[in-house]
Structure formats: structure tokens, C-alpha cells
Amino acid sequence: MVQGGEGRILLIACGALAREILDLKARNGWDHMDLTCLPAILHNHPEKITQAVRDAVTRHRDRYDRIHVLYGDCGTGGLLEAACDELGVQMLPGPHCYAFFEGVETFAGRDEITAFYLTDFLVRQFDAFVWEPLGLDRHPDLRDMYFGNYEKLVYQAQTDDPALTALARRHAERLGLAFERRLTGYGDLETAMTDWAKT
């Protein structure tokens, strides 16, 4: 919920991160931080993310002392970072949420070009964000075309939830991929929010 006011910080975030951000805010008592989310489905149209962030910053700028953007590059080809620099707002480090949940340096060091990643959000929303947009609900024969070069599904677990782990394993089976679970917690998202809350 966006409130505004003196000394307040606005977090403009991808809707896919809302649950994690709200948990961190509540756990740490960061009541001076407000959250507004852009639709998570923008990840299926990364060319729209930069303008959506620009619009959100412009809409809220006068009501906040500081604004932070909780996105990685997320397929914008550097355009989001350039826009944030121009607007004078900070964004999360790294190419996408898979990197900052695991830790950008750790993720880059793995060099896993044959891994398909899911977060808690994507495990819950797999059909809406993966299966149906790719047409696999209507044409399951397309699975090999989309996922034939992948070897495993990596579930980056933000929470230790056996039900989500079981669901992620079922998604791997649907895609014909090996399954690996990594309990990442909130990674660099938590680090960045902690730093922003103090400054």
C-alpha cells in the first residue's frame, strides 16, 4: 500500500516479489517503507517494463524522499538500468530475480545454461506464467521444442515449504526435466532492502 509522507521510502517492485518484500518489511519493522507493485506478467513482455517503471517513479516521486526499484535487468537489455540512472533511483543488482535470490556472484559462477529456474512465486503460478503462455495446455507436443535443450529444473526456494517443493517437483516432471531444490532464502533482495532501510 502506498502512503507517502516525510522520511518515507517507496519500493517499486515486480508483483512476483510482493510476498517476499511484505514479509521482510513485517519481519524487520520497516514501517517507513511503502510498496507499490507492477504486474508480474510484465515479465512476459520485458519491453514494457522500463516505461512502466518510469511512469511509476513519475507518479509517486513528489511524495517520497527516496524511491528504489526492485527489479533486476529482467530482459530489458540495460534499458531499465539506464532509466533508473536517469531518474536518480536505485535498482537491485543482477540480471533477474533468479540471480539476486541466489546471490549474483554465486549465480554467475554456476554458468548453468541448461537449467530452468522457478521461484516460490513461479511454482505457485506455473500454469499462468509458463504452461499456458507457452501454449502447452493446448499443444503439449511443443514441450520438446521449448525445453529440449534444458536438463534440469532448479527450484530456488525462498521458504522451506514441503508442499511447494512437491509442487515444483511435479512441474519438473511435466517438463521432463531432472529436479533440484536450493533453499536460497531472500538473498540479495534482503541485503539490498536492509541497506536501503538504514540510509
User: 104 Cβ partners below 8 Å, 6+ apart?
Assistant: 93, 94, 188
Q: For residue range 22-77, what is the model confidence (pLDDT) as tens digits?
A: 999 999 999 999 999 999 999 889 999 999 999 999 999 999 999 999 999 999 99
Domains delineated in the chain? 9-95+186-198 (3.40.50), 104-183 (no CATH)
* pLDDT tens per residue, range 168-198: 999 999 999 999 999 999 999 999 999 999 8
Give the model's pLDDT for residue 43. Answer: 87
Closest CA to 15 of 44, 36, 45: 36
Residue spans of alpha helices (H) in the chain: 18-28, 49-60, 79-87, 97-102, 104-110, 120-124, 126, 143-147, 162-175, 187-198
Indicate the average pLDDT of the chain. 94
CA distance 12 to 68: 6
What percentage of residues in the chain have a pLDDT greater than 70? 96
The whole-model pTM stands at: 0.89
Residue with cell 517513479: 57
Q: Give the model confidence (pLDDT) of 120-167 as tens digits.
A: 999 999 999 999 999 999 999 999 999 999 999 999 999 999 999 999
The DSSP code for 128 is I
